[in-house]
Amino acid sequence: MLHIPSGILQDMIAHARELAPHECCGILSGKNQTVTEAYRITNILANMAEDDLSRFDGAKLSDLQRLSPEERADIAFQMDAREMAMAQRDIRSKDLELLGFYHSHTSSPARPSQTDITIAMEFEDYRKKLNLPEPLHLIVSLEHADRPDIRAYRIQDSHPTEIPIQQTSD
Ligand SMILES: [Zn+2]
């Protein structure tokens, strides 16, 4: 169970709506599976023109280039590394833990895509080397515009398991 104040849930939905049709992304921190802080992180792919994408290398991005712009907007996010580092520094200085990553799906359900699973597994390799706690992966779905849906998953060995979210009052 992950506990999240309603104000932070509302802010994640607002963030998703502001960035649509691009995906938003961010980091959640707190203690004892209770979120106390959310950090909006710039999705560098959302700001990138078609031509700039081709300058990236790596299997993940070459896969993205094969997709239509609509498909790509739906699955593509890459967190700004400098902002991520600043968030991690803030988390450490407040003696909090990194509890999760979030991103939005603008027209698909709140379930991890194959790309999301690949990204989560890449993070796992890095995380184990740095001895960081295991984060959850949250998805804000705007598939039904009037009923946004937020779900959290643990992703282990490329297998997502949903973890219930308990909304708390601020
Ligand atoms: Zn996704």
Longest dimension (CA), the chain: 45
What is the distance in angstroms between the CA of the first residue and the CA of the last residue of the chain?
17
Name the stretches of the chain with pLDDT < 70.
Answer: 47-76
Q: 93 alpha carbon to ligand 1 midpoint, in Å?
A: 29
Q: 23 alpha carbon to ligand 1 midpoint, in Å?
A: 8
Confidence at residue 128, expressed as pLDDT on a 0 to 100 scale: 86
Confidence at residue 131, expressed as pLDDT on a 0 to 100 scale: 81
Q: Residue 36: CB partners within 8 Å, gap ≥ 6?
A: 5, 29, 30, 96
Q: Could you tell me if 127 and 117 are in contact, meaning their C-beta atoms sit under 8 angstroms apart?
A: no
Q: 109 alpha carbon to ligand 1 midpoint, in Å?
A: 9
Confidence at residue 126, expressed as pLDDT on a 0 to 100 scale: 83
Structure tokens at 93: 């200085």
Q: 67 alpha carbon to ligand 1 midpoint, in Å?
A: 14
Q: 10 alpha carbon to ligand 1 midpoint, in Å?
A: 19
Confidence at residue 35, expressed as pLDDT on a 0 to 100 scale: 98
Structure pTM?
A: 0.85
Number of domains in the chain: 1
Cis peptide before 21 (omega within 30 of 0): yes
Indicate the residue type of 34. Answer: T
Confidence at residue 59, expressed as pLDDT on a 0 to 100 scale: 46
Q: Residue 122's Cα: distance from chain center in Å?
A: 14
Q: 86 alpha carbon to ligand 1 midpoint, in Å?
A: 23
Could you give the CA distance from residue 135 to residue 124 in angstroms, rounded to a whole number? 9
Could you give the CA distance from residue 123 to residue 60 in angstroms, rounded to a whole number? 13
Q: 39 alpha carbon to ligand 1 midpoint, in Å?
A: 18
Q: 41 alpha carbon to ligand 1 midpoint, in Å?
A: 15
State how beta strands 97-105 and 25-31 pair: antiparallel
Q: 36 alpha carbon to ligand 1 midpoint, in Å?
A: 23
Q: Residue 80's Cα: distance from chain center in Å?
A: 12
Helix spans in the chain (H): 6-19, 50-53, 59-65, 69-75, 81-93, 114-130
Could you give the CA distance from residue 47 to residue 78 in angstroms, rounded to a whole number? 10
Confidence at residue 60, expressed as pLDDT on a 0 to 100 scale: 56
- Find the CATH number of the domain harbouring 84: 3.40.140.10
Domain that holds residue 159: 2-168
